[in-house]
């Protein structure tokens, strides 16, 4: 995907938690959802992105 590396780097530097999602973070969320602790979680969108979603997607010229 064109520009993916630039977008990844931009996310890492600008997300509120200063981190991209890791396999461990996504996996941990999945484990929660299939565990008894997540039994009553329904119809939710769970973003595992270090808070990047609050910023919105940058225009390519701003990367």
Question: Stretch 22-48: mean pLDDT, rounded?
Answer: 95
Confidence (pTM): 0.69
DSSP label at residue 3: T
Domains and CATH numbers, the chain: 4-56 (1.10.8.400)
| Residue percentage of the chain with pLDDT more than 70 | 90
Q: How confident is the model at residue 59 (pLDDT cuts 50, 70, 90)?
A: low
Is the pLDDT reported for residue 23 higher than 70? yes
Say what the pLDDT of residue 62 is.
Answer: 67
Reading phi first (left if > 0) and then psi (alpha if -120 to 50, else beta), residue 22 is in: beta
CA angle 36, 42, 46 (to 5 degrees): 95
Q: Can you tell me which residue has the tokens 């929660």?
A: 32
Q: What is the Cβ-side half-sphere exposure of residue 34, based on CA atoms within 13 angstroms?
A: 5
Segment 2-15 mean pLDDT = 83
């Amino acid at each position: 995907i064109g520009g993916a590396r630039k977008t990844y780097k931009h996310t890492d530097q600008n997300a509120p938690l200063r981190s991209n999602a890791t396999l461990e973070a996504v996996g941990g969320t999945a484990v929660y959802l299939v565990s008894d602790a997540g039994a009553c979680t329904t119809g939710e969108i769970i973003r595992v992105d270090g808070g990047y979603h609050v910023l919105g997607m940058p225009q390519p010229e701003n990367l």
